[in-house]
Amino acid sequence: MRLMYRLATLALALALVGALGTLTVRPSLSGPEKDELAESFAFEVLPLNSAPDGARTERETAPGLTHFAGWISAVGASGALLDLRGLGRSTDVCLVDPRDDSVTLRHAPGSGADGYPVVALVPEGLPYDRTMAPMGCVPADVDEDGDLDIIVYYWGRSPVLFMNTAGPEATPAAENFTAHEMVEPMQVWNTTALNFADLDGSGSLDVFVGNYFPDGARVLDPDARTDTRMEMQQSMGLASNAGHNRVLLTAPTGHKDTPPAFTDVSAALPEQVATAWTLAIGFQDLTGNGVPDVYLANDFGNDSMLVNHSAPGDLSLELVKGERNMATPKSQVMGNGSFKGMGVAFTYEDGADLPRILVSNITTPYALHESNFAFVPIGEGSELLDGTVPYTESSEELGIARSGWAWDIRAGDFNNDGTDEILQATGFLQGEHNRWPELQEIAMGNDQMLKYPWAWPGFSEGDDLSGHETNPFWVLADDGRYADLAGVLGIAEYDVTRSFAFGDVNGDGLLDVVVANQWQDSRIMLNRVPDAPPAAVLRLVRPGAAGDGALVPAIGASVRAGGSGQPEQRHQLYPANGHVGVCDPIVHLAAPHGPLRTTVSWRDADGGQHTADLTVEPGTHTILLDDDGTVVVR
């Protein structure tokens, strides 16, 4: 009898475990359902570059870091799409290739425009040696003279501004870009993210610099045997010993080809934010007060939501955090997570006033299996001004909680139906020898040991950490959940990807993608959607400070379009949001039923705010947002 009772108890326990296990299985689409959903998408993948002479797969580091140089060498691939020649489409690419630490301007394959020799951006006349390596390039018209300049940021030195001294329609050439320091004197920073926006509402672009390893740490200097500043993070979930993040306010001189005045106002950053291990910066005006709020995706600890209360010349950013209830895990509370923030993107549901905020984390199965974030609005943006966070975390419900070791994340409408798809970059270190056991060991070890490089296991060439993952292409299905269609579409490559840049390369009204890969060839994905509905592609510009008819991208402008049978769409123009990719500064709107009723809000060069209504036809247009509040469609 006792045996029968035990067997019955065991059977019941197994049944309960099985039932609970069934409840935890993630719902997914069947193969035929995925095939049907994928019919609205198609891509042609072209090589963007090839291996340079002497290509390497690992950087030379300070002596104390050589045993895990593979880990130290895991970032640096980035790309930007831009219209450098004034052709009205995204015909140019700025690419950073860590295999030779090059920063190049090059013709975008498939654009149909004339090609030109690759242009290398080298900071001639400034301190630059083997202890410095580029991490990203950001196109921005900082002197407001009508042509795009390039900001390049590095490990081993502070950023460099390459002033474009040619006209806005000139063919790129090395002699047309002159290098200038943004920080005097040059400092040893290790920067992993850089974004720009009008943070104080003055009308000029400001620069937010996200630094990683401590200031002064000579990470890439093989002679730095006694560098006491070099530390790893002092915690896997609450680290605050990184380099100082910086904010530089700018004031254009009014003269073309002249760098603006940069003023460091970094002291205004909250203490917790100042030394976070920042990997991505996102701007978005969530409160409606005309200046962008800031989301920082921070490695090894709390991400940061900063509510912007600034006035011209007076930076004021308030750190806010969400509220936890009994049903909410700690790390799913905005600003309270211990995960490894790597990327951030914003996407608006049909008709929504607030965007969803998407954040990449590490979600590799049987490893550091955290969760991506999808913060969904549950209130009004104005609540942020009072310190309340009107967001809840819903990545599991949306089906995008897990994707791998994820980096950049970007949202865009690839089939012109008014609903964004999501691309996510994945992968860390590609090799043949799985080193996850060693990484798990130090991740679960005593935090007191983490900051010492000698305590870290070896990660070097041939080792693998999430190196055989594919980049998800998330598409929203009818059930309200996203499905990864990368495999069905033939774009699921085992690339180790760091960033994406979106733009319209060939002017066909469809979004294309630059894919920047680490230690591998980068790619461009041309959008070949069959029979796609039309789109309106808008280049929003305003008069620049340099005068003489100079027009500059209206960074920070907000667009609301649709209604009367058209999908309702919202966009804010912040092309450098995310990890290290930079999109062409365009607003892409689906227009499946013809002309779109559109409302545009913007700041002029003096900080004045304007709002105007207009109707835009399908096609590509330049929209002049004038200082007197009028709008001209070109």
The domains of the chain are located at 44-224+239-527, 539-633
Query: Is the predicted pLDDT of residue 320 greater than 90, yes or no?
Result: yes
Q: What is the pLDDT of residues 358-380, one digit of tens each?
A: 999 999 988 888 999 999 999 99
Asked if 208 contacts 196 with a C-beta cutoff of 8 angstroms, the reply is yes
- Average pLDDT for 74-80: 97
Torsion of CA 395, 398, 400, 401, to 10 degrees: 30
Phi/psi for 440 (5° steps) reads -60, -40
Torsion of CA 178, 182, 185, 186, to 10 degrees: -80
Is omega for the bond preceding 312 within 30 degrees of 0, making it cis?
no
Contacts (Cβ under 8 Å, ≥6 apart) of 629: 610, 611, 612
Confidence tier at 19 by pLDDT (50, 70, 90): very low
Mean residue pLDDT of the chain comes to: 94
Which residue has 């950087």 as its token pair? Answer: 59
Q: State the Cα–Cα distance between residues 19 and 8, nearest whole angstrom.
A: 16
- For residue 437, the model assigns a pLDDT of 93
- For residue 512, the model assigns a pLDDT of 98
pTM reported for the whole predicted model: 0.95
- Average pLDDT for 89-105: 98
- Average pLDDT for 392-420: 97
* 63 to 67, 88, 350, 429: CA distances (angstroms): 8, 48, 53, 21
- Picking from 510, 210, 520, the residue whose alpha carbon sits closest to that of residue 341 is 210
Select the more confidently predicted residue: 325 or 514.
Answer: 514
* 149 to 134, 209, 254, 442: CA distances (angstroms): 16, 17, 15, 43
Spell out a b/e string for 11-50, using b for 16 or more CB atoms within 10 Å of the CB, else e: eeeeeeeeeeeeeeeeeebeeeebeebbebbbbeeeebbe
- For residue 548, the model assigns a pLDDT of 84
Instruction: Look at residue 492 and give its three-state secondary structure.
Output: coil
- For residue 329, the model assigns a pLDDT of 84
How many residues belong to the chain? 634
**CATH value of 44-224+239-527 in 3.30.70.360, 3.40.50.720, 2.60.40.1930, 2.130.10.10:** 2.130.10.10
Query: Is the predicted pLDDT of residue 25 greater than 90, yes or no?
Result: no
Confidence tier at 580 by pLDDT (50, 70, 90): very high
Facing residues of 515 across strands? 500, 523
- For residue 2, the model assigns a pLDDT of 58
Asked if 151 contacts 134 with a C-beta cutoff of 8 angstroms, the reply is no
- Average pLDDT for 441-459: 92
- Return the number of other C-beta atoms located less than 10 Å from residue 9's C-beta: 10
- Return the number of other C-beta atoms located less than 10 Å from residue 234's C-beta: 18
Q: What is the pLDDT of residues 420-437, one digit of tens each?
A: 999 999 999 999 999 999
SS3 breakdown of the chain: % helix, strand, coil, rounded to 5?
15, 35, 50
Q: Which helix (H) or strand (E) holds 501?
A: strand 497-503
Confidence tier at 350 by pLDDT (50, 70, 90): confident
- For residue 5, the model assigns a pLDDT of 54
Query: Is the predicted pLDDT of residue 197 greater than 60, yes or no?
Result: yes
- For residue 16, the model assigns a pLDDT of 56
Q: State the Cα–Cα distance between residues 219 and 215, nearest whole angstrom.
A: 10
Asked if 361 contacts 392 with a C-beta cutoff of 8 angstroms, the reply is no
Contacts of 115-119 spanning 24+ positions with Cβ under 8 A: 116/171, 116/172, 116/173, 119/172, 119/173, 119/174, 119/177
Instruction: Look at residue 554 and give its three-state secondary structure.
Output: coil
Q: What is the pLDDT of residues 514-549, one digit of tens each?
A: 999 999 999 999 999 999 999 999 999 999 999 888
Spell out a b/e string for 177-190, using b for 16 or more CB atoms within 10 Å of the CB, else e: bbbbbbbeebebbb
- For residue 17, the model assigns a pLDDT of 46
- For residue 20, the model assigns a pLDDT of 44
Confidence tier at 4 by pLDDT (50, 70, 90): low
- Average pLDDT for 237-261: 96
Share of the chain above pLDDT 90, in %: 87
Dihedral angle sign, alpha carbons of residues 373, 377, 379, 381 = positive
Contacts (Cβ under 8 Å, ≥6 apart) of 572: 283, 284, 285, 292, 346, 556, 557, 558, 559
Confidence tier at 84 by pLDDT (50, 70, 90): very high
Q: Is 155 exposed, middle or buried (0-12, 13-18, 19+ CB in 10 A)?
A: buried
Asked if 152 contacts 103 with a C-beta cutoff of 8 angstroms, the reply is yes
